[in-house]
């Protein structure tokens, strides 16, 4: 069975073909420009592929409420050419197959829980720490949503006592994303994250924020596994710092074997699918749309 996947990102689009086992057979990448130009490339890619379904894991915010008149739209993006763009509708006009649609991070969570680092459990979170901070959740095997998709990257966290950076989120200033995404590192320390490896104060502060976020997610959603990816996590020493601070913050309050010094390395983990999580997730969304 061939299933199409579209990882619709703010800077690049990845289109691919895979199957229900998570194997990726073909993939192409192109830069995100206007909706017309970018989607013309998407349509051309899938034209002769004979896929049975297509999934889209998209940058957001997006409308994932099937009862809404604007279901399938990219909604409030600052990218003008994509604002209120009916990506599902436009794809449906071209290809008469079931179409799955969710956020890029929910797609990645689904891929990790179906084929990757969280496949042994039926609920997980996927967090990316990159240009922004996004978090997707799979609960009982299903993508999680309520009124709309959660926006867990924008939660409020306690400020580090040594941090005077005002934060860069255009909506909230010093929310988690405003304080801890890649651009926050660059703006606070005047160097890109890649160039800050040897400054321990940078990573202590970064772990301080990320650990608070994970603590809050654990307390609210009780995920069975947390997968953390994105460019900033390429700093290999960062995840161990985050795990340590999560344990300290929780202080033994959640008394489960997974959240202990012995097992935390297996509870808060890097992606099992590496850079394929996004595309594989879109394919998983496509596969899921066939049974709905």
The residue among 9 and 100 lying less far from ligand ADP, judged by its C-beta, is 9
Site string for ligand ADP, 130-159 (x = CB under 6 A): xx----------------------------
Tell me the C-alpha distance between 277 and 275, whole Å.
6
Centre a 10 Å sphere on the Cβ of residue 216 and count the other Cβ atoms it contains: 16
Which one of residues 41, 119, 154, 244 is an interface residue with Zn ion (CB under 5 A)? Answer: 154
234 contributes a contact to ligand ADP by CB under 6 A: yes
Which one of residues 4, 6, 8, 9 is an interface residue with ligand ADP (CB under 6 A)? Answer: 9
The residue among 60 and 193 lying less far from ligand ADP, judged by its C-beta, is 193
3-state SS of the chain is: CCEEEEEECCCEEEEEEECCCCCEEEEEEEECCCHHHHHHHHHHHHCCCCCCEEEEEECCCECCCCCCCCCCEECCCCCHHHCCEEHHHHHHHHCCCCEEEEEHHHHHHHHHHHCCCCCCCCCEEEEEECCCEEEEEEECCEECCCCCCCCHHHCCCCCCCCCCCCCCECCCECCHHHHHCHHHHHHHHCCCHHHCCCCHHHHHHHHHHHHHHHHHHHHHHCCCCEEEECHHHHCCCHHHHHHHHHHHHHCCCCCCCCCCCCCHHHCEECCCCHHHHHHHHHHHHHHHHCCC
- Map tokens 């200033």 to a residue: 173
Residue 235, binding choice from Zn ion, ligand ADP, none, Cβ under 5 to 8 Å by partner class: ligand ADP
Subset of 25-44 contacting Zn ion (CB under 5 A): none
The residue among 88 and 180 lying less far from Zn ion, judged by its C-beta, is 180
Minimum CB separation of residue 195 from ligand ADP in Å reads 8
Which one of residues 230, 271, 281, 286 is an interface residue with ligand ADP (CB under 6 A)? Answer: 230
Sheet holding 268-269, edge to edge: 142-143, 133-139, 124-129, 226-229, 268-269
88 contributes a contact to Zn ion by CB under 5 A: no
Subset of 80-109 contacting ligand ADP (CB under 6 A): none
Residue 234, binding choice from ligand ADP, Zn ion, none, Cβ under 5 to 8 Å by partner class: ligand ADP
The residue among 169 and 273 lying less far from Zn ion, judged by its C-beta, is 169
Phi, psi of 258 (to 5 degrees): -65, -35
Number of residue whose CB is nearest ligand ADP: 182
Residue 194, binding choice from ligand ADP, Zn ion, none, Cβ under 5 to 8 Å by partner class: ligand ADP
Residue 51, binding choice from ligand ADP, Zn ion, none, Cβ under 5 to 8 Å by partner class: none
Minimum CB separation of residue 158 from Zn ion in Å reads 15
Subset of 161-200 contacting Zn ion (CB under 5 A): 169, 171-172, 175, 177
Residue ranges that bind Zn ion, judged by CB under 5 A: 154, 169, 171-172, 175, 177
Residue ranges that bind ligand ADP, judged by CB under 6 A: 9, 11, 128, 130-131, 182-183, 192-194, 230-232, 234-235
């Amino acid at each position: 069975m061939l299933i199409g996947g579209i990882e619709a990102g703010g800077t690049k689009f990845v289109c691919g073909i895979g199957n229900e086992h998570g194997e990726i057979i073909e993939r192409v990448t192109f830069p995100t420009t206007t909706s017309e130009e970018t989607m013309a490339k998407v349509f051309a890619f899938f034209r002769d592929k004979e896929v049975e379904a297509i999934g889209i894991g998209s940058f957001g915010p997006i409308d994932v409420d099937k009862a809404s008149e604007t279901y399938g739209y990219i909604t409030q993006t600052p990218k003008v050419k994509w604002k209120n763009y009916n990506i599902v509708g436009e794809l449906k006009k071209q290809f008469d197959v079931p179409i799955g649609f969710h956020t890029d991070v929910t797609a990645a969570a689904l891929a990790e829980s179906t084929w990757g680092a969280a496949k042994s459990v039926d609920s997980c979170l996927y967090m990316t720490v990159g240009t922004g901070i996004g978090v997707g959740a799979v609960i009982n095997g299903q993508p999680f949503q309520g009124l709309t998709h959660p926006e867990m990257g924008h939660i409020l966290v306690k400020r580090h006592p040594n941090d005077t950076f005002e934060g860069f989120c255009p909506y909230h200033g010093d929310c988690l994303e405003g304080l801890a995404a890649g651009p926050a590192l660059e703006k606070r320390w005047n160097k890109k994250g890649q160039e800050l490896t040897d400054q321990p104060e940078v990573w202590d502060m970064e772990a301080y924020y990320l650990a608070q976020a994970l603590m809050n997610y654990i307390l609210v959603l009780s995920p069975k596994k947390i997968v953390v990816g994105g460019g900033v996590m390429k700093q290999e020493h960062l995840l161990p710092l985050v795990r340590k601070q999560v344990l300290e913050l929780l202080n033994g309050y959640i008394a489960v074997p997974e959240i202990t010094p012995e097992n935390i390395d297996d509870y808060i983990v890097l992606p099992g699918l590496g850079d394929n999580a996004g595309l594989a997730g879109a394919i998983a969304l496509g596969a899921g749309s066939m049974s709905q």
